[in-house]
């Protein structure tokens, strides 16, 4: 028996008739999707009302700031834009993975939308698919109530407004969540393809690759089953080979474009990004804790401790190893990397398995109490998102 043997091989509601599994799955997920959509709608309404008072355009805030400008420029003009800043840093658009701008280019070519609005459309649609995939994972492991709570919790994250921006977080989370579902249900080819697409979307696509490889190792290593894999498990082996193609292909292409094997990592260094094991983040926290803003530092330290506690709780609750591998990789890549530290909450948006212990707790409450908790969290998220987006916002 392997670590995945507890997971059903087909989603609930599959009665074997053509067309029925998808309709049944959508019907099962409908309450979660409606609740998620309602939470995001509240966030958008509050942001728009705040913008009306502040004299800011909600459309501009969502589609034409920070990374969204880089994505739309790539969609319209292709790669090749570089900014040389006065402090000596070099910002190249090669830091941005290609799937979102490619979708923006295609949609703007076949519709009246420009690239920025195409990016908003992608986020709108894929955020719903992400919520559906998150629900599917929670439902598969613990049942419908947990799946619903998990999807809505993801929607009411404090920085959940990013899910509605022309950013790549919603697209990536949709691919990652369904990739995790495919792994847990042993849909190996789908898992490999989704991992490859996730690797074309964000650098953290490496986390989805890790999950596929961990699942494959759990299937193949016990009892020397890998010796028979070439004949008995071709789809599993295909998923192992497919999973890294997107991420690795883009990194190699950037190396070719820059003329350096380390080209992609040099580009990230130009942005001040890179992996240092958390030293820069620790230094940032230390500087805040030792200065007049130490209450903010204490809050950040508490937040990091809470994230680590949630992950440890997932380990104690025996979440499937592929899910732990994915979530752990997202955590490490977000917290142990250099770069602008205000981005870290946004970088943690794909780490939805961290919310599973909270979803399990909410599922044990009466429905009315769960609704009150999630509704209050949704309102808080809406207010914080509006404040955040009208202030420093997500870089």
17-66 pLDDT tens trace = 445 688 899 999 999 999 999 999 999 999 999 999 999 999 999 998 88
Is the Cβ–Cβ distance between 158 and 303 less than 8 Å? Answer: no
Question: What is the mean predicted confidence (pLDDT) over 128-148?
Answer: 97
Enumerate helices (H) and strands (E) in the chain, giving the number of each: 19, 2
pLDDT at 395: 65
pTM of the predicted model, to two decimals? Answer: 0.92
Q: What is the distance between the alpha carbons of residues 179 and 239, in angstroms, rounded to a whole number?
A: 11
Quote the CA–CA distance of 130 and 306 in Å, as a whole number. 24
Which of 187, 143, 177 minimizes the C-alpha distance to 12? 143
Residue 8 has pLDDT above 70, yes or no: no
Does 16 score more than 70 pLDDT?
A: no
Q: What is the pLDDT of residues 285-309, one digit of tens each?
A: 888 888 777 787 788 889 899 999 9
pLDDT over threshold 80, residue 139: yes
Q: What pLDDT shows up at residue 228?
A: 55
Backbone angles phi, psi at 200, to 5 degrees: -90, 0
- Return the pLDDT at 225: 56
In 3D, which of 262, 246, 110 has the Cα closest to residue 176? Answer: 246
Sign of CA dihedral 145, 315, 318, 173: positive
Average pLDDT of the chain?
A: 89
Q: How confident is the model at residue 14 (pLDDT cuts 50, 70, 90)?
A: very low
Looking at residue 184, its pLDDT comes to 96
Contact status, residue 194 vs residue 171, Cβ threshold 8 Å: no
Residue 347: CB partners within 8 Å, gap ≥ 6?
204, 330, 333, 334, 337
Contact 388, 159 (CB under 8 A): yes
């Amino acid at each position: 028996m392997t670590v995945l043997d507890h997971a059903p091989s087909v989603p609930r509601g599959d009665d074997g008739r053509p067309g029925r599994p998808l309709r049944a799955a959508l019907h099962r997920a409908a309450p979660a999707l409606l609740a998620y959509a309602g939470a995001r709608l509240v966030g958008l309404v509050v942001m728009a009302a705040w913008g009306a008072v502040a004299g800011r355009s909600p459309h501009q805030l969502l589609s034409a700031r920070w990374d969204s400008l880089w994505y739309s420029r790539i969609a319209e003009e292709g790669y090749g834009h570089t900014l040389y800043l006065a402090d000596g840093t070099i910002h190249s658009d090669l830091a941005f993975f290609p799937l979102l701008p490619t979708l923006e280019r295609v949609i703007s070519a076949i519709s009246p939308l420009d690239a920025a609005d195409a990016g908003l459309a992608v986020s709108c649609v894929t955020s719903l698919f992400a919520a559906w995939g998150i629900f599917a994972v929670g439902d598969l492991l613990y049942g419908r109530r947990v799946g619903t709570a998990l999807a809505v919790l993801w929607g009411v994250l404090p920085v959940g407004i990013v899910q509605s921006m022309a950013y790549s977080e919603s697209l990536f989370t949709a691919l990652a969540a369904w990739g995790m579902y495919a792994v847990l249900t042993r849909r190996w080819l789908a898992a490999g393809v989704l991992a490859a697409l996730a690797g074309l979307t964000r650098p953290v696509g490496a986390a989805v690759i890790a999950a596929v490889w961990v699942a494959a190792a759990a299937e193949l290593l016990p009892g020397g089953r890998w010796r028979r894999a070439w004949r008995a498990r071709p789809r599993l082996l295909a998923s192992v080979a497919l999973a890294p193609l997107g991420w690795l292909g883009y990194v190699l292409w950037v190396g070719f474009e820059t003329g350096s094997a380390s080209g992609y990592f040099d580009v990230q260094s130009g942005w001040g990004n890179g992996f240092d094991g958390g030293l820069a983040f620790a230094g940032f926290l230390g500087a805040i804790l030792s200065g007049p803003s130490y209450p903010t530092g204490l809050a950040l330290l508490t937040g990091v401790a809470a994230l680590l506690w949630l992950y440890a709780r997932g380990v104690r609750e025996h979440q499937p190893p592929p899910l732990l591998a994915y979530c752990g990789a997202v955590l490490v890549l977000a917290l142990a990397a250099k770069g602008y530290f205000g981005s870290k909450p946004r970088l943690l948006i794909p780490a939805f398995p961290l919310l599973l212990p909270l979803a399990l707790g909410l599922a044990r409450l009466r429905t009315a109490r769960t609704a009150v908790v999630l509704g209050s969290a949704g309102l808080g998220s809406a207010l914080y998102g509006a404040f955040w987006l009208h202030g420093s916002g997500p870089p």
